[in-house]
């Protein structure tokens, strides 16, 4: 087996697709893979044009200018956002300071998971990395081994997880400074430098990681509502916590 990768910048973020393919390459298999990747990028661009608060023509910008939601996708996204707000006790909110709609944090994972259907359709092992949040699938049963970046050293790892079908999202302050804000105080979140969440769905892994960084701690009452999700956190005082589901996924390193 070999791996084919495709990369693209969308929503201001780097996306990459990795596919496990046979060693034998033909123009036909190349065309199929390129076509599937192209469809993923296309779906993500469409989502960006609809949901970006930075594009004046987007539906989100129009809502922020006072219009009502007009598409079924927007209604679905807003319903999902409301679920995320309720299930995180308000720690995850697509409304900045309770007012302006800024759904990037939700749309990225939601749109990526939806677009990944083009990759599932190939039947091959793949992962999609959406700006640091990954969705992995391995129908072959061969484990994907995914590293979690160390928050203090992007060239090193905090841990490695493995599995065949899972999502892994990481939130924190390492790459953008404090880009997550406490929705109540409006101040940058403190307490946790980085949180990674593993679980079956990318959007919820992403929501939980963001919510715990924003809250500054792993809220047990929230996590109890997500029994299939595991958390690896790194605090501002350099302490690491792993919940049982996360520990089950932490990879065993082969010797040699």
Partner 1 sequence: MRRISFFFFSTLSALVLLFSYRTSLGDATVVSSATSAHAHVVSGTATANSITPGSATASAPIITVPNPTSAAAPQAAPAPAAPAAPAPAAPAVASVIDGDSVNTSYGPVQVEITVTGGVITAAQAINYPNNDREDRQINSRAIPLLNSQVLSAQSAKIDGVSGATYTSDGYLRSLQSAIDVAGLS
Q: What residues from 12 to 41 belong to the interface with partner 1 (CB under 8 A)?
A: 12-14, 16, 18
Among residues 133, 182, 229, 249, which is the contact residue for partner 1, using CB under 8 A?
Answer: 133
Q: Which residue lies nearer to partner 1 by CB, 63 or 246?
A: 246
Residue whose C-alpha is closest to residue 169's, from 128, 193, 198: 198
Site string for partner 1, 62-81 (x = CB under 8 A): --------------------
How crowded is residue 82: how many other Cβ atoms within 10 Å of its Cβ? 12
Q: Are 35 and 151 within 8 A, CB to CB?
A: no
Identify which range of 37-45, 93-101, 115-123, 150-158 contacts partner 1 by CB under 8 A: 150-158
**Distance from C-alpha of 197 to C-alpha of 242, rounded to nearest angstrom:** 10
The nearer residue to partner 1, 73 or 210, going by C-beta atoms, is 210
Residue of the chain from 106, 194, 203, 208 that contacts partner 1 (CB under 8 A): 194
Candidate ranges 67-75, 83-91, 94-102, 167-175; the one touching partner 1 (CB under 8 A)? 167-175
> Residue 103 interacts with partner 1 (CB under 8 A)?
no
Q: State the minimum distance, in angstroms, from the CB of residue 64 to partner 1.
A: 22
Please give the Cα distance from 27 to 63 (Å, whole number).
Answer: 45
Of 31 and 79, which CB lies nearer to partner 1 in the complex structure?
Answer: 31
Nearest to 66 by CA among 96, 101, 95: 101
Neighbour-count burial of 241, counting CB atoms closer than 10 A to its CB (0-12 exposed, 13-18 middle, 19+ buried): middle
Cβ-contact 88, 211 below 8 angstroms: yes
**Which stretch, 11-19, 66-74, 85-93, 116-124, contacts partner 1 (CB under 8 A)?**
11-19
* Contact between 229 and 204 (Cβ < 8 Å): yes
How far is residue 169 CA from its own chain's centroid?
Answer: 5
Minimum distance of partner 1 from residue 70's CB (angstroms) = 29
- Does the protein bind partner 1 through residue 9 (CB under 8 A)? yes
Among positions 66, 155, 185, 187, the unique one binding partner 1 when judged by CB under 8 A: 155
**Integer Rg of the chain from CA:** 18
Q: Residue 27 corresponds to which tokens in the numbers above? A: 């123009």
Residues numbered 230-249 forming contacts with partner 1, rule: CB under 8 A: 231, 234-244, 247
Report the alpha-carbon angle 132-31-4, nearest 5. 35
How many residues in the shown chain lie near partner 1 by CB under 8 A?
73
Residue 119 or 223: the one with the smaller Cβ distance to partner 1 is: 223
DSSP, collapsed to helix, strand or coil, labels residue 143 as: coil
Is residue 223 involved in binding partner 1 (CB under 8 A)?
A: yes
User: Among 224, 226, 230, which residue's Cα sits nearest to residue 244?
Assistant: 230
Binds partner 1 (CB under 8 A): choice among 59, 91, 93, 132: 132
């Amino acid at each position: 087996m070999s791996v084919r990768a495709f990369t693209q910048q969308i929503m201001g973020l780097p996306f990459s697709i990795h596919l496990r393919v046979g060693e034998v390459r033909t123009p036909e298999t190349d065309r199929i893979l390129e076509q599937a990747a192209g469809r993923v990028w296309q779906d993500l661009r469409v989502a960006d044009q609809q949901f970006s608060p930075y594009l004046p023509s987007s539906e989100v910008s129009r809502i922020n200018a006072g219009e009502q939601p007009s598409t079924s996708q927007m209604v679905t996204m807003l319903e999902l956002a409301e679920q995320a707000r309720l299930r995180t006790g308000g720690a995850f909110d697509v409304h900045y300071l309770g007012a302006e709609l800024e759904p990037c944090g939700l749309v990225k994972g939601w749109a990526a998971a939806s677009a990944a259907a083009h990759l599932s359709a190939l039947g091959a092992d793949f992962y999609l990395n959406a700006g640091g949040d990954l969705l992995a699938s391995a129908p072959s049963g061969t484990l994907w081994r995914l590293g979690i970046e160390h928050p203090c050293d992007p060239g090193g790892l905090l841990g490695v997880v493995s599995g065949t079908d899972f999502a892994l999202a990481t939130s924190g302050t390492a790459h953008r400074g404090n880009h997550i804000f406490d929705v109540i105080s409006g101040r940058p979140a403190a307490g946790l430098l980085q949180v990674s969440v593993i679980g079956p769905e990318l959007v919820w892994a992403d929501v939980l990681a963001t919510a715990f960084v924003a809250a500054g701690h792993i809220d047990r009452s929230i996590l109890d509502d997500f029994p299939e999700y595991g958390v690896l956190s790194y605090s501002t005082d350099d302490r690491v916590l792993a919940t049982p589901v996360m520990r089950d996924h932490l990879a065993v390193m082969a010797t040699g």
